[in-house]
Amino acid sequence: MPAVGDQGRPVGVSPSGISTPLSEGMLTELWEGQRFPPRVLATRQGQRLRVVYRGRANRGPGPDFQDAVIAAPWGILGGDVELHVRASDFRRHGHHRDTAYDRLALHVVFRDDEGEDTLLSSGRRAPVAALAPWTERRAEEIHQWLQRPCRWREPCQGVVERLGAEAVMAALDGLGQQRFQEKAEVMRRLLEEAPADEVVWQGLLEALGYGGDRQAFRLLAMEVPWRRIAERLYRLPASQRVDEARLLLTSAAPTLAGKASHGRPGNEGWRRLEGAARLAVRFCAGGLASRLQAVLVGSAPGDSAPLLAALRVAGGPCSRRAFIGQGRALEIAINVVLPYAAAGGDSVLAQKAEVLYGRLPRPAAYGLVRHLDRALGRAVRVNARRQQGMVYLLRQHCARGGCGRCPLS
């Protein structure tokens, strides 16, 4: 009797028998838990591959696993892994035109029905590893693999039990502080090359682009520099300033203005440009950088309310959704305003910025560190600084095959 896969579909056991292979969900389970013998994984040419790190499971759009590390006979393959029932599904799903898949290190499929390595939008080809030649003779054994416990999981999964919640929070605080200092150092270098208003304006627009358009928003800040927009707005009556700012930004970036939200409420391009226009109007008199700095100076230590109020932009009379809400205001504070304050050379202001940074809540749970959120569970309270520490871990360890060597291992 054939084995049964997801949704009651039979699993293929021989080329002449059942033609339906393993489901994509089952392939994902096999890969995520590494529930198969190492000898199974090989290229079309028969070259054996070894998984150093299977990558982080990606529950959103893009490759199924990100930042994997695969050892091949010709070197290390670093990048993403995509799983499909058939190799041709890559083209059928339109991935060959999607730049999000250009970091693909390996295409793992059940059946290689194309007979060639997978072509990416960049023109590069990613090697294909097909399981069918080995698995078609071992359908029952595969189902036994699926019943086994995971042979591998991130060492950080048991960190709270091993170290305790307080020690974990202290470690994340330290890493988050290190990331903050690195951001401040980047700000210092930028301030040596450009006026403070331009540096802050570029950072602010880039933060509005978080979620996929950050480079386009940064280019917009160069196309419409702060000096130009501030001078134009300052010469106009207050009643005409929002319209003028909106026109300047949308005419310079018509593609951004029509950008859809991609499932993120309030993330439409026009809405973010409207937020930028209204912030430009708010700060056109007196200087963007100095006005934001003055907000910090006038705030009580650790009080984030004045700064976040200065960065939020409410929706219009016909819109209940803010143009710049609390989450986006927090992103701007964490990534732009506070690093700028820490980089300016005023030690009192820098200390104030660091205190505030340590007390800010997280803007939202980042998908790219979801694996760390799962590892920490509810025992660890994650604020903005600790989430930045998690991002630091991701960049310096998780994405570099450093599992087992990071501070939470």
pLDDT tens-digit series, residues 355-371: 999 999 999 899 889 98
The pair of structure tokens assigned to 322 is: 């803010």
* CA atoms of 272 and 137, how far apart (whole Å): 55
Do 311 and 332 meet the contact criterion of CB atoms below 8 Å apart?
A: yes
> Is 1 inside any structural domain?
no
Show Cβ contacts of residue 58 under 8 Å, excluding neighbours closer than 6 positions: 64, 65, 66, 80, 367
The C-alpha atoms of residue 273 and residue 268 are separated, in whole angstroms, by 9
What is the pLDDT confidence band of residue 133, given thresholds at 50, 70 and 90?
confident
Cα angle 151, 397, 103; round to 5: 85
**Domain match, 216 and 121 both:** no
Residue where a domain stops, chosen among 152, 171, 186: 152
What are φ and ψ of residue 59, in 5° steps? -90, -5
Quick one: what percent of the chain has pLDDT higher than 90?
Answer: 70
- pLDDT tier at 264 (50, 70, 90 boundaries)? low
101 is a domain residue: yes
Residues 181, 240 share a domain: yes
Helices 238-252 and 269-283 meet at what angle, rounded to 10?
140
If asked whether residues 87 and 180 sit together in one domain, one would say: no
Residue 128, helix vs strand vs coil: strand
Mean pLDDT of the chain, nearest integer: 89
Give me the pLDDT at residue 323, please. 93
371 within 8 A of 342, measured Cβ to Cβ: no
Q: Are residues 128 and 238 in the same domain?
A: no
Mean pLDDT for 283-309 is 94
Residue 75 host element (H or E):
strand 75-86
Instruction: Answer whether residue 406 is part of any domain.
Output: no
User: Is 359 part of any domain?
Assistant: yes
Q: Do residues 98 and 31 share a domain? A: yes
Count how many domains the chain has. 2
In 3-state terms, what secondary structure has residue 242?
helix
Q: Are 338 and 180 in contact (CB under 8 A)?
A: yes
Could you tell me if residue 408 is inside a domain?
no
Residue 409 lies in a domain: no
Residue in 10, 4, 22, 15 with CA at minimum distance from that of residue 85: 22
Residue 70 inside a domain? The answer is yes
Residue 12: is its pLDDT beyond 70? no
The answer to whether 207 and 335 are in contact (CB under 8 A) is yes
- Asked, for residue 377, whether it belongs to a domain, the answer is yes
80-89, 197-206, 369-378: range with lowest mean pLDDT: 369-378
Q: Spell out the residues 6+ positions from residue 292 whose beta carbon is closer than 8 angstroms to its own.
A: 200, 283, 307, 310, 337, 340
Instruction: Tell me the whole-structure pTM to 2 decimals.
Output: 0.71
Identify whether residues 76 and 181 lie together within a single domain: no
- Domain match, 208 and 305 both: yes
- Which residues face 57 on adjacent strands? 65
Is the domain of 197 the same as that of 243?
Answer: yes
Residue 315's pLDDT is 85
The answer to whether the beta carbons of residues 11 and 142 sit under 8 Å apart is yes
Residue 57: pLDDT over 80: yes
CB contact set of 192 (below 8 Å; sequence gap of 6+): none
Q: Are residues 245 and 183 located together in one domain of the fold?
A: yes
Judgement on whether residues 135 and 195 belong to the same structural domain of the protein: no
Q: Which two tokens stand for residue 374?
A: 């799962």
Please compute the mean of the pLDDT values over residues 285-308 and round it to a whole number: 94
Q: Which domain holds residue 286?
A: 158-400
Question: Which residue, 152, 176, 206, sits at the end of a domain?
Answer: 152
Quick: pLDDT tens for 88-104.
999 999 999 999 999 99
Same domain as 126, residue 84 = yes
Same domain, 345 and 322: yes
Where a domain ends, among 152, 178, 193? Answer: 152
